[in-house]
Structure 1
Amino acid sequence: MWPGVLPGLPPVHSYACSAAVPQVPGEPAEAARLRARMADIVIVKGWAPSARVQAALRHVPRHRFVPEAPLETAYHDDLAVMTVRKSPQTALSSVSAAWLQADMIEQLRLEPGMTVLEVGSGGYNGELLAHVLGPRGRVVTVDVDPYVVHRTQRLCAEAGSGRVTAVLGDGGLGAPGHVPARGFEGVMITHNASDIAPAWREQLAEGARLVVPLEMGGFTRSLTLVRRGDVLRCEHWTYCGFVRDRGAAARTAPAVPLADGEVTVRWEDGEPGDTSGLEEALRGPRHELTTGLVVRGIFNFETLQVYAATTLPGFCRLAAPAGSTLVEQQDAAAMLSDGSLAYLTYRKVKDAPDPADRLTEFFIHAYGPAADALAERFADCVRTWDQKVRESGYPPMTVHPAGTPDEQLPVGDVLDKPSARLVFQWPGRVPDGTQDLLAAGGQRA
């Protein structure tokens, strides 16, 4: 719109399009075959155990919501399809992998006729939700990008159910004009969130579920949170990754480049640490300490990442370009204290033709005057995780409003966000029986 013709309109956004995509008058037989194959794979892998989610995967034409992609790409079970790009390397909007969409929808435990909020639009996920909710159900999907909202409206009109309402707005505020009397009966966030927006809890019905890909120390996990008053209780974790939030709550992690940019330290949560003295420390000797943890084959240490991020004082992330002469890891969990830096790395100690026979040992590398102490502290974290956490999985966790006093929080490790306080009850770090108390809904006296 020309400025001044219609007052009060939002600014126009435009994006380069790869091609003009005509409407599809019918469905190619190949699309039906590929959709059935995709659904079969997702179901066999256990991501869609319920009949309604299975039917949604088999029914909703995914290719109609990603017309930019070839059919093979559209119906790949393990690929996200980029729909809006800031650059060839950076996506602003995407349609997530089918297995992840199925898992997150399953976690909502939806029933026919419910009303659900989706934050982050695209069309396909909203239509999956609508199919699960049935003819009397409703989906409200919110996105901050006018182009994405318009695209979603067009694609849902062409290939949708008529039960998805796409709204332009900051998803961090929820959908204030569309909240049912008792609240949404499910809220699903489809972008990486650095915080738990108060509106998501406030607009969620009591006992309903919020599924959100939350960043903790920069490591993203999809959390299933159940509302119990002002507290959200976590009942499920899934390893995942999404595009970043672009709303008002979006956070750029503070970062400090060191050694002429060869090493960068960043803080995904909390305030930046003191990096004075690190320039000189990184040019000095490196202290190496084995953790004693030797693992075989392809090893899953996703809980170790979150454990370190939520229990180590001074936790940060360290990045280095490929081929760095100072740091062996391009992206590593790290900690900073007393003018010193330590990070977690690993090295292959036994190679073998079969990956299952290879052995890998975890090490701590540290720099600075307190390198020895820092390395020992980090190594102890890894050993404790190996002995007490590794086999037990993710811990009980609750989310409390930001203003909650310490004495009203359960016993556990606290990770503070701008709008929320997360309490983790890792095995070995809380008194016996406390985890059972938290699971039952109790709090510290």
Structure 2
Amino acid sequence: MPFRNRRTRRVLGSGGYNAELLAHVLGERGRVVTVDVDPYMVHRTQRLCAEAGSGRVTAILGDGGLGAPGHVPADGFNGIVITHNASDIAPAWREQLAQGARLVVPLEMGGYTRSLTLVRRGDVLHCGHWTYCGFVRDRGAAARTAPAARTAPAVPLADGDVTVRWEDGTPGDTAGLDEALRGHRHERSTGLVVRGSFNFETLQVYAATTLAGFCRLSAPTGSPLVAQQNAAAILANGSLAYLTYRKVKDAPEPADRSTEFFIHAYGPAAEELAERFAQCVRVWDREVRESGYPSMTVHPAATPDGQLPPGDVLDKPSARLVLPWPGRTPADAVNLSTTGGQRA
């Protein structure tokens, strides 16, 4: 972390051990404020940091989604590190961050968590780095707090053999899906065959942020209806399609194995949805696979469409994420908001 000049550096973090490590990295002029909603964790942090002896960590009880009011330096924190899965970008994190400083946050997008390094420039956060990760869920005001929403909205289908859930946006209409799942399964190859160990983490986020009607399917082991226990899917017109794979070539050595990506689909619009998902995979393979994650920007929730840069939009309650995926034109751009639909 680039905290090496003589200015006093102040960072908002979390967790006793992690906070003390941050203080060590920051050096003698560094200061760390750590916030936790659990009184036991705050007490434990205070005790352990006192034993460590740096004297540069302040542990406070509070909702981390509100930052650390009363402890914010005049020009903002030089860094903020979130150490739980966040479903949203809390406004306080941006507002309490100094200009040019970094916010590191494990953010969920379509149910896939990626640790992001965001740099504040004005009221916009610019993503400079993505990392595959997973953390515990948030517990404060930013968390899903309603009893039925502690996890994503979910609907069981086919007597519980399949569950469809939505991590972002409005839940889709599942009418007709029970009947569809009892009918014929349409199968379509994406044409993508990969060898050996294969990283498709960008495909997960690409599908979640570019496919209208995106959702996730879960099924018990051995389900006759869904081959994957946890699958990316799209839903529309009483039909659904999901991404799966099958072995093309098996071999003792992983590097010698081949796997083909397939789409399975059910319902009257099965062929249409299967082709739409397959096309998504083909475009990803052609345009995104080798280029990595896009230079995403994060804007305040009140930002009008006309003030957003080009790209696909994923709306959170407190932020608007714009992802300029390569190979996508303005006409392709989708707004996966709480109301859904196509962005003009």
Question: TM bucket by the smaller chain?
Answer: over 0.9
Q: Secondary structure, in 3 states, of the residue corresponding to 1:195?
A: coil
C-alpha contact 1:215 1:221 (8 A) present in aligned 2: yes
Equivalent in the alignment of 1:147:
40
Q: Please give the residue correspondences for 1:119-268 in structure 2 after superposition, counting only pairs within 5 Å.
A: 120-121=14-15, 123-251=16-144, 252-268=151-167
Q: Distance in 1 between matches of 2:100 and 2:328?
A: 28
C-alpha deviations, 1:300-354, integer Å up to 9, x for none?
0000000000000000011011111111000011110111111000011100111
Equivalent in the alignment of 1:374:
273
Equivalent in the alignment of 1:117:
12
Equivalent in the alignment of 2:325:
426
- Quote how far apart the aligned CAs of 1:136 are: 1.5
C-alpha deviations, 1:56-108, integer Å up to 9, x for none?
xxxxxxxxxxxxxxxxxxxxxxxxxxxxxxxxxxxxxxxxxxxxxxxxxx4xx
Q: Distance in 1 between matches of 2:4 and 2:95?
A: 21
Divergent runs of 4+, >6 A: none
- Quote how far apart the aligned CAs of 1:125 are: 1.0
C-alpha contact 1:413 1:423 (8 A) present in aligned 2: yes
C-alpha contact 1:258 1:278 (8 A) present in aligned 2: yes
Q: Distance in 2 between matches of 1:110 and 1:221?
A: 24
Q: Secondary structure, in 3 states, of the residue corresponding to 1:185?
A: strand
- Quote how far apart the aligned CAs of 1:261 are: 1.1
Q: Distance in 1 between matches of 2:288 and 2:246?
A: 22
- Quote how far apart the aligned CAs of 1:207 are: 0.7
C-alpha contact 1:208 1:226 (8 A) present in aligned 2: yes
C-alpha deviations, 1:149-207, integer Å up to 9, x for none?
11111111122422111111000000001000000000000000000000000000011
Q: Percent identity?
A: 83
Alignment counterpart, residue 416 of structure 1, candidates 303, 307, 315: 315
Q: Aligned AA for 1:115? A: R
Q: Distance in 2 between matches of 1:322 and 1:367?
A: 19
Q: Distance in 1 between matches of 2:176 and 2:169?
A: 21
1:277 aligns with 2:172: no
C-alpha contact 1:312 1:335 (8 A) present in aligned 2: yes
C-alpha deviations, 1:250-285, integer Å up to 9, x for none?
123111111111111110001100000001111111
Alignment counterpart, residue 233 of structure 2, candidates 334, 338, 353: 334
C-alpha contact 1:256 1:265 (8 A) present in aligned 2: yes
Q: Aligned AA for 1:116? A: V
Q: Please give the residue correspondences for 1:272-351 in structure 2 after superposition, counting only pairs within 5 Å.
A: 272-351=171-250
User: Bigger relative contact order, structure 1 or 2, given CA contacts below 8 A and separation 6+?
Assistant: 2
Equivalent in the alignment of 1:92:
none
Q: Distance in 1 between matches of 2:53 and 2:310?
A: 47
Q: How many residues align?
A: 322
Q: Aligned AA for 1:194? A: S
C-alpha deviations, 1:199-226, integer Å up to 9, x for none?
0000000110101000000101111111
Q: Distance in 2 between matches of 1:161 and 1:407?
A: 49
C-alpha contact 1:341 1:366 (8 A) present in aligned 2: yes
1:391 aligns with 2:290: yes
Q: Please give the residue correspondences for 1:20-39 in structure 2 after superposition, counting only pairs within 5 Å.
A: none
Pick the structure with more helix per residue. Answer: 1
Equivalent in the alignment of 1:403:
302
Rg (Cα) greater in structure:
1
Q: Secondary structure, in 3 states, of the residue corresponding to 1:284?
A: coil
Q: Secondary structure, in 3 states, of the residue corresponding to 1:140?
A: strand
C-alpha contact 1:213 1:240 (8 A) present in aligned 2: yes
Q: Aligned AA for 2:11? A: V
RMSD: 1.0
C-alpha contact 1:285 1:367 (8 A) present in aligned 2: yes
Provide structure 2 residue ranges, at least 5 long, that are not aligned to the other structure: 145-150, 331-344
Q: Distance in 2 between matches of 1:266 and 1:111?
A: 46
Q: Distance in 1 between matches of 2:296 and 2:42?
A: 34
Q: Distance in 2 between matches of 1:110 and 1:281?
A: 57
Pick the structure with more strand per residue. Answer: 2
- Quote how far apart the aligned CAs of 1:111 are: 3.4
Provide structure 1 residue ranges, at least 5 long, that are not aligned to the other structure: 1-105, 432-445
Q: Distance in 1 between matches of 2:225 and 2:237?
A: 20
C-alpha contact 1:110 1:186 (8 A) present in aligned 2: no
Q: Distance in 1 between matches of 2:329 and 2:77?
A: 34
Q: Distance in 1 between matches of 2:61 and 2:222?
A: 44
C-alpha contact 1:396 1:424 (8 A) present in aligned 2: yes
